[in-house]
Amino acid sequence: MSEASGKQASPGGGIGVVIVAAGRGARAGQADGPKQYQRIGGRAVIAHTLDIFLSHPLIGPVVVAIHADDAELLQRAAGAHAERLITVIGGPSRQASVRLGLLALRDQAPEKVLVHDAVRPFVDAGLIDRTIEAIGERHGALPALPVADTLKRESATGMIDETVSRAGLHAAQTPQGFPFWPLLAAHEKAHHLGKAEFTDDAAIAEWAQIPVRIVPGSP
């Protein structure tokens, strides 16, 4: 497992990955550390996530953005995968962590990049394939599911103000995919302008006028 230093840490390829794993996840409890290191089927959540991406034939360099306190946790969870990873210390928000992960991929210069949350271990190869295939030279791809629940808008008094139409509404998932350099430029622009309110990469792409295509997600 290498620190971000421009060193190639995985086989070359046109598709890089940033896995965001710097969060504390306090709501999930801390028995085995933050939720990305808690166990499913006897293994850390992030270990399952890494398996999927590192076994995919199209994936090249993989960056994991972690909390400064979690290097040992990642080492244990990654096991034999550790040598294929580039690790960076993430920032105070998801947006900041993604930016730092993208910066760590500059020397590898992938054509496309996927950004995925470590705590989503049930992503499958089909979803990764659909996302990759939908990325264009100037547009990104977002896996999403149509909203099925009835949506209510709350008033200032705590009462229902209105029922919101769910037509055209989707719940965003990850991995979200983009042409690498436009996404990095969007993150750098937002950083330098002090805009830190974006909750996913499709939102920052929308702000930067990078079109994003919706692809079928997975329940």
DSSP character for 115? E
Q: List % helix, strand, coil for the chain (3-state, nearest 5).
A: 35, 30, 40
Q: What is the pTM of this model?
A: 0.89
Cα–Cα distance, 34 to 64 (Å, whole number):
15
Read off the tokens for 141. Answer: 């791809």
125-128 long-range Cβ contacts below 8 angstroms, 24+ apart: 125/52, 125/56, 126/218, 127/173, 127/175, 127/217, 127/218, 128/52, 128/53, 128/56, 128/58, 128/59, 128/175
Which residue's structure tokens are 């049930």?
A: 122
- Mention every residue, 6+ apart, whose C-beta is less than 8 A from residue 44: 32, 36, 37, 38, 73, 76, 77
Cα–Cα distance, 110 to 133 (Å, whole number):
15
At residue 25, the pLDDT reads: 60
Read off the tokens for 54. Answer: 């590192």
Smallest Cα–Cα separation from 94: which of 207, 202, 196, 2? 196
At residue 23, the pLDDT reads: 85
Read off the tokens for 102. Answer: 């993208």
At residue 1, the pLDDT reads: 64
At residue 31, the pLDDT reads: 56
Cα–Cα distance, 167 to 65 (Å, whole number):
35
* Beta carbons within 10 angstroms of residue 14's beta carbon: 15
Contact between 56 and 11 under an 8 Å Cβ cutoff? The reply is: no
Cα–Cα distance, 143 to 212 (Å, whole number):
10
Residue 138 phi, psi (nearest 5): -130, 10
**Terminal-to-terminal C-alpha distance of the chain:** 32
Cα–Cα distance, 39 to 71 (Å, whole number):
17
Q: State pLDDT tens for residues 155-180.
A: 999 999 999 999 999 999 999 999 99
Q: How far apart, in Å, are the Cα atoms of 36 and each of 40, 110, 127?
A: 10, 26, 20
Which residue's structure tokens are 């953005």?
A: 65
Domains of the chain from N-terminus onward = 2-216 (3.90.550.10)
Average pLDDT per 10 consecutive residues for the chain, totaling 219 residues: 47 80 64 81 94 96 96 92 94 96 96 97 96 97 96 96 95 97 98 96 98 96
Q: State pLDDT tens for residues 112-121.
A: 999 999 999 9
